């Protein structure tokens, strides 16, 4: 439904940001404006043609090629390789998005830049924490043909463009209270929290530790898996004899994100909210447990889990006052989507934007520009 995409957690930034923090579930069109030069376009062999230009900027073939390689890899990783007939259309959309970002960055105020810088700094620290290693993070960037300075410059432009849109479009849209209330009353399912389970997990990984020289951690040998299984069985026996479960989590769990929080998660069923779900095997075990009970060993492709159910929460409808601001912001952005084609057409006219490659001109005005998603 329409609101689901608004409620769903969304990372700030581009395809690159999604890749570094946790991986994209579906292809995305990024707005990276300063990608690393494409290796296939060595300047001594090929002219780096200007594809689009406007007042104060130009975008070259090497920049579009580098962007296209990143997006194409994202599609492939998601199991949806690009068809030949879609390549040129996607390149045109990417070029238009890059032009749009340059136009927005040029309109940024000092306050926009300060706010964007704070968000980028926060994101970068979070990315390093989630990757557990600066070396691992830098190796992922290197695999994408970038260094940290290039990545942060790209992310800054992307975040800055969102701040400008927020100030110049979103903040000026006024949504009448009656419209907000009507939306709430006519979409009851959108504002019902699904059944949830609060649980504590002890995780035993069956993969080798990640390292900067390999993107995917290989599986343990069969002998190592069996050793890890026996360890899980001994810990399960101790838990069922009454040992403190939180103490066992802190001693044995290999889930670094939750270990110091007692292994605690709140999860939904994947059909209700994929962003807050866990692996199917874990989900099935968690929702079958009664509060206070401990599961058998749950086997997944990444390792073994021992679960303790702490609390079950039934479906609950959220009150109007709780969700009013979320609805208002959503309706603001719906209206912004309608205004964006004319807004960008005006900016392009003012900047004298020209697309010099005939085959990369969009056939539908505004077709390549998408509103940035935000967290509610």
DSSP 8-state assignment for residue 44 = T
CATH number, span 2-177+321-360: 1.10.4030.10
296 and 202 Cβ atoms separated by less than 8 Å: no
Cα separation, 373 vs 12, whole angstroms: 8
DSSP per-residue codes, 81-126? PPPHHHHHHHHHHHHHHHHHHHHHHHT--HHHHHHHHHHHHHHHHH
Per-residue pLDDT, 108:
95
212 and 135 Cβ atoms separated by less than 8 Å: yes
Query: Hey, which residues does 294 pair with through a beta bridge?
Result: 308
pLDDT band at 7 (very low <50, low <70, confident <90, very high): very low
210-220 in b/e form (b: 16+ CB < 10 A) is eeeeeeeeeeb
Cα separation, 354 vs 267, whole angstroms: 49
pLDDT band at 20 (very low <50, low <70, confident <90, very high): very low
70 and 32 Cβ atoms separated by less than 8 Å: yes
Query: Hey, which residues does 356 pair with through a beta bridge?
Result: none
- In the block, tokens 């962007």 appear at 67
Element (H, E) at 253: none
Q: What is the pLDDT of residues 235-249, one digit of tens each?
A: 999 999 999 999 999
Mean pLDDT rounded to a whole number for the chain: 82
Q: What is the pLDDT of residues 274-317, one digit of tens each?
A: 888 999 999 999 999 999 999 999 999 999 999 999 999 999 88
The full set of domain ranges for the chain reads: 2-177+321-360, 195-314
Cα separation, 6 vs 210, whole angstroms: 33
Topology at the third CATH level for domain 195-314: Chitinase A; domain 3 (3.10.50)
User: Closest Cα to residue 124, out of 111, 107, 141, 110?
Assistant: 141
User: Closest Cα to residue 132, out of 20, 291, 246?
Assistant: 20
Share of the chain above pLDDT 70, in %: 81
Query: How many Cβ atoms are within 10 Å of 57's Cβ, its own excluded?
Result: 17
Q: What is the pLDDT of residues 153-169, one digit of tens each?
A: 888 999 999 999 999 99
What would the mean pLDDT of 60-73 be, rounded to a whole number?
86
């Amino acid at each position: 439904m329409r609101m689901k995409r608004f409620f769903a957690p969304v990372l700030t930034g581009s395809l690159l940001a999604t890749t570094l923090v946790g991986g994209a579930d579906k292809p995305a069109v990024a707005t990276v404006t300063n990608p690393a030069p494409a290796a296939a376009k060595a300047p001594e062999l090929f002219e780096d043609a200007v594809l689009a230009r406007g007042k104060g900027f130009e975008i070259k073939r090497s920049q579009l090629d580098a962007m296209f390689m990143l997006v194409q890899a994202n599609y492939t990783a998601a199991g949806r390789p690009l068809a030949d007939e879609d390549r040129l259309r996607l390149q045109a959309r990417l070029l238009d998005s890059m032009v749009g970002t340059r136009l927005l960055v040029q309109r940024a105020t000092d306050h926009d830049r300060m706010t964007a810088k704070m968000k980028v700094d926060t994101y970068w620290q979070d990315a390093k924490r989630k990757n557990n290693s600066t070396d691992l993070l830098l190796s992922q960037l290197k695999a994408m043909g970038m260094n940290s300075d290039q990545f942060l410059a790209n992310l800054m432009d992307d975040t800055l463009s969102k701040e400008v849109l927020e100030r110049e479009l979103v903040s000026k849209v006024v949504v009448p209270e009656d419209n907000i209330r009507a939306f709430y009353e006519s979409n009851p399912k959108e504002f019902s929290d699904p059944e949830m389970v609060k649980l504590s997990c002890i995780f035993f990984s069956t993969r080798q530790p990640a390292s900067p020289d390999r993107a995917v951690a290989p599986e343990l040998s069969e002998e190592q898996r069996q050793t890890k299984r026996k360890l899980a069985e001994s810990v399960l026996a101790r838990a069922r004899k009454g040992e403190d479960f939180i103490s066992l989590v802190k001693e044995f769990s290999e889930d670094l994100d939750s270990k110091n929080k007692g292994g605690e998660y709140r999860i939904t069923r994947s059909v209700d909210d994929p962003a807050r779900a866990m692996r199917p095997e874990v989900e099935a075990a968690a929702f079958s447990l009664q509060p206070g009970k401990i599961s058998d060993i749950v086997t997944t492709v990444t390792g073994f889990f021992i679960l303790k159910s702490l609390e079950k929460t039934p479906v609950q409808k959220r009150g109007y006052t709780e969700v009013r601001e979320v609805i208002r912001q959503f309706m603001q952005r719906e209206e912004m989507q309608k205004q964006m084609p004319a807004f960008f057409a005006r900016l392009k006219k003012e900047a004298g934007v020209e697309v010099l490659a005939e085959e990369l001109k969009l056939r539908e005005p505004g077709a390549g520009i998408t509103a940035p998603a935000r967290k509610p």
